[in-house]
Amino acid sequence: MSEKVNVTLALPLAAELLDRVRGLDERLQVTALTRAQRRVYRGGRPLWLGYQEPPQPEDESDEEATARLQEILARTEVILSNPVVPEEIVSRAPHLKWLQLTSAGVDRLLDAGVVRSQVKVTTASGIHATSISEYIIGAMLAFAKGFPRAIQAQAERAWTSYLPPELEGATVGIIGMGAIGRRTAELAKGFRMRVLGMRRSVTTRTAATGDPSFDEYVPPADLPYLLRESDYVVLAAPLTPETRQMIGEAELRSMKPGAVIVNIARGAVIDEGALVRALKEGWIAGAALDVFEREPLPAESELWGLRNVLLTPHISGGTPRYMERAVELFCDNLRRYLAGEPLRNVVDVRRGY
């Protein structure tokens, strides 16, 4: 490949990250969209949830940004973007061959034309492993050591003693053995926990011989076993037709009364109404939730007021190093693209991720 490859960056990057992309190969012609062009690209939708990337006085007009954006897209071969992608991107960028997303999940785009076109779509799967696995371990420690109840007691100036359990010797069942699930397993093993791992490719429950991070592999058909055995259940699977509401009333009732569920996957993996009943009626001990069926979580949701819930606003994957890792992955894939090698994290529509 000797011709120029037009690369468009559809989200803001720090100067050093922009330089890293531009300096990767002399064949790259890199265009970073301006703030106004990015807003037009997204159709006015937020850059990230809750962040609109507001206009500034020095920005070009919407009319100027629209015209310039179309010129750029008309010659674009590669785009780096968050999941807020124009519905008509395939027709607006007729030379587009590859779309690199900065998100791990692609469920919101599975019905989009670009995913079902000839354009290769790749995700940022793997870059969240450190931040989210730390969140999961932190959530388990918080419940094991009773931090939520201690914070509530502190606010009420109540000196109430309790006997907190240990993570050592407890069982954690991890649903989803991708980068996040595996890193969580590695950390859990540092606490000498028993670790069960479930993934769709496993067909028979077996001992994880030779794998230091897991004790047992569990197939999806054995989900009841994993739930019965686990003191902590971690949801780290992508949202697909198979995983949508995979945790409902029957599954929650089969868990230990002292068990805690941690969801960093997608809100729709759990039947939220059944979860609220489980938490209120004591089917399980608690839940750490970073994702919800509706986001932002509506003010009227009962989850806000439950004392056995640790609730965060979809921040488990957040880190000051997020874009650094996303650009590192993008640059690795750019090298592969220029060399004609297979790209990492190519979306498979049939699998749903």
Q: Are 111 and 207 found together in one domain?
A: no
Q: 295, 321, 335, 341: which is the annotated catalytic residue?
A: 295
Q: Residue 174 sits in a domain of what CATH number?
A: 3.40.50.720
Q: Are 140 and 276 found together in one domain?
A: yes
Question: Pairing state of beta strands 260-263 and 286-289?
Answer: parallel
Tens digit of pLDDT per residue, the chain (353 long)?
568 999 999 999 999 999 999 999 999 999 999 999 999 999 999 988 667 788 899 999 999 999 999 999 999 999 999 999 999 999 999 999 999 999 998 888 888 889 999 999 999 999 999 999 999 999 999 999 999 999 999 999 999 999 999 999 999 999 999 999 999 999 999 999 999 999 999 999 999 999 999 999 999 999 999 999 999 999 999 999 999 999 999 999 999 999 999 999 999 999 999 999 999 999 999 999 999 999 999 999 999 999 999 999 999 999 999 999 999 999 999 999 999 999 999 999 888 88
C-alpha 257/C-alpha 228 separation (Å) is 10
Question: Is residue 196 situated within a structural domain?
Answer: yes
Q: 128, 183, 314, 325: which is the annotated catalytic residue?
A: 314
Active site residue 242: no
Active site residue 266: yes
Q: Number of folded domains in the chain? A: 2
Q: 38, 266, 272, 325: which is the annotated catalytic residue?
A: 266
Helix (H, G, I), strand (E, B) or coil at 246: coil
Q: Are 110 and 137 found together in one domain?
A: no
Active site residue 183: no
Question: Is residue 344 situated within a structural domain?
Answer: no
Question: Is residue 345 situated within a structural domain?
Answer: no
In angstroms, what CA-CA distances link 37 with 56, 63, 64, 66, 318?
A: 12, 10, 9, 7, 25
Question: Pairing state of beta strands 206-207 and 216-218?
Answer: antiparallel
**Closest Cα partner for 246 from 215, 229, 224, 279?**
224
